[in-house]
């Protein structure tokens, strides 16, 4: 007859204690890898003997323990994909609740009040009311199903490749900084309230364009030519009447991405100094995103509908 679960747990604990007393059985502690340099360290080591990194408290050690950085090849791109669709679902539910989901509104026009409360970019709110978090939260909001569909296809087409090239921490900084800078430029020139991931996506393309200028070969020249043609077409499309494209956010994101692409080395960090700098950039970007959403939630009900 099988023992009840509680008694089975106690019996297993008693067996393990006996093994410990008599020195047998049980799993033996195993050596571990340094999260910064990958060196094999001892079971009870608290600091890496190769690079000196603390195994208990360091940016590399903390990052290694984050769930999104375990088991995924492109954790930042995948996480951003999920976050964009999660916020789009909230926008959609708010639009339905407001009774504005009729017709084809779901394709390109969601409830503007909900978008504003969720952190849509808006110049007067940023410069006059100091709601700087909108520069961050706006890049995770979209105007409709077509808008988010095209943007997320672009994210998964280009994001994982650039994330693999730079490493997740630097890619996180690239995406966050270029998207925020694009919205800052747009808000500064008094453009219509923008939202969407396209500024950050143009930042990714700007980084790719910078990479093609630092590498030779026919493939890089061909890639650069195709990128310039596509970007030129997108710019012209933004000037067409009736097309609601924020050229200022695109241009700002593209320029910021190109500059970072010139600065960043076209590979993952290889030594301890590079890894530490990359971790710092990644944590700055990650904490900025978290703080921005916290502020958005705290001020969500400040605005009358």
Would you say residue 72 has pLDDT above 90?
no
**Greater model confidence, 230 or 83:** 83
Would you say how long the chain is, in residues?
305
CA dist., res. 88 & res. 80, Å (int): 12
Mean per-residue pLDDT over the chain, rounded:
81
Would you say residue 209 has pLDDT above 70?
yes
**Greater model confidence, 111 or 304:** 111
**Greater model confidence, 67 or 283:** 283
Q: Six-digit token pair at 184?
A: 């800052």
Would you say residue 210 has pLDDT above 70?
yes
CA dist., res. 57 & res. 12, Å (int): 33
Over residues 8-14, the mean pLDDT reads 59
pLDDT score recorded for residue 59:
58
For residue 286, give Cα distances in angstroms to 3, 15, 22: 48, 45, 48
Categorize the per-residue pLDDT at 102 as very low, low, confident or very high, splitting at 50, 70 and 90.
low
260, HSE (Cβ side, Cα atoms, 13 Å): 29
Positive or negative, the CA dihedral 184, 185, 189, 192 is: negative
Per-residue pLDDT tens over the stretch 266-287: 998 888 889 889 999 999 999 9
Q: According to DSSP H, which parts of the chain are helical? A: 5-22, 59-65, 75-97, 105-108, 112-117, 123-127, 134-137, 145-166, 168-188, 198-214, 218-238, 247-263, 272-298
Question: Hey, is 169 helix, strand or coil?
Answer: helix
pLDDT score recorded for residue 97:
86
pLDDT score recorded for residue 26:
47
Would you say residue 305 has pLDDT above 50?
no
Q: Six-digit token pair at 216?
A: 């030779």
Radius of gyration for the alpha carbons in the chain, expressed in angstroms and rounded: 24
Categorize the per-residue pLDDT at 6 as very low, low, confident or very high, splitting at 50, 70 and 90.
low
Is the entire prediction scored with pTM above 0.85? no
CA dist., res. 268 & res. 289, Å (int): 23
> Which domains can be identified in the chain, with CATH numbers?
76-302 (1.20.1540.10)
- Name the residue among 174, 200, 160, 175 with its Cα closest to residue 72: 160
Over residues 103-109, the mean pLDDT reads 72
Whether 172 contacts 282, CB under 8 Å: yes
Over residues 148-172, the mean pLDDT reads 93
Over residues 258-266, the mean pLDDT reads 95
- How many Å separate Cα 33 from the centre of its chain? 26
Longest CA–CA separation in the chain, Å = 83
Over residues 105-127, the mean pLDDT reads 86
Per-residue pLDDT tens over the stretch 177-201: 999 999 999 998 876 668 999 999 9
CA dist., res. 227 & res. 238, Å (int): 17
- Name the residue among 286, 271, 38 with its Cα closest to residue 172: 286
**Greater model confidence, 196 or 241:** 196
pLDDT score recorded for residue 251:
92
Categorize the per-residue pLDDT at 217 as very low, low, confident or very high, splitting at 50, 70 and 90.
confident
For residue 19, give Cα distances in angstroms to 5, 12, 14, 24: 21, 11, 9, 5
């Amino acid at each position: 007859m099988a023992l009840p679960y509680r008694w089975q747990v106690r019996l297993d604990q008693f067996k393990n204690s006996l093994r410990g007393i008599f020195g047998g059985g049980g799993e033996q502690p195993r050596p571990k890898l340094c999260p910064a340099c990958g060196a094999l360290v001892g079971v009870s080591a608290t600091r890496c003997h190769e690079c000196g990194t603390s195994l208990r408290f360091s940016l590399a050690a903390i990052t290694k323990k984050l769930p999104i950085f375990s088991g995924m090849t492109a954790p930042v791109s995948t996480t951003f994909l999920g976050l964009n669709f999660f916020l789009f679902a909230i926008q959609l539910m708010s639009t339905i609740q407001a009774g504005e989901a009729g017709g084809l509104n779901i394709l390109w026009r969601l409830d503007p009040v909900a978008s504003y409360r969720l952190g849509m970019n808006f110049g007067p709110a940023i410069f006059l009311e100091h709601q700087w978090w909108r520069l961050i939260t706006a890049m995770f909001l979209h105007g409709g199903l077509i808008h988010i569909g095209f943007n997320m296809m672009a994210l998964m087409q280009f994001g994982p490749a650039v994330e693999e090239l730079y490493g997740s921490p630097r890619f996180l900084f690239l995406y966050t900084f270029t998207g925020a800078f694009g919205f800052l430029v747009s808000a500064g020139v008094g453009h219509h309230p923008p939202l969407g991931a396209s500024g950050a996506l143009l930042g990714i393309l700007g980084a790719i364009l910078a990479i093609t200028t630092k590498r030779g070969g026919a493939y890089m020249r061909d890639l650069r030519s195709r990128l310039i043609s596509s970007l030129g077409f997108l710019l012209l499309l933004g000037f067409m009447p009736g097309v609601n494209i924020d050229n200022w956010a695109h241009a700002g994101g593209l320029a910021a991405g190109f500059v970072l692409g010139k600065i960043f080395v076209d590979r993952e960090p290889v030594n301890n100094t590079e890894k530490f700098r990359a971790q710092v950039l990644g944590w700055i970007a990650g904490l900025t995103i978290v703080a921005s959403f916290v502020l958005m939630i705290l001020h969500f009900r400040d605005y009358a509908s």
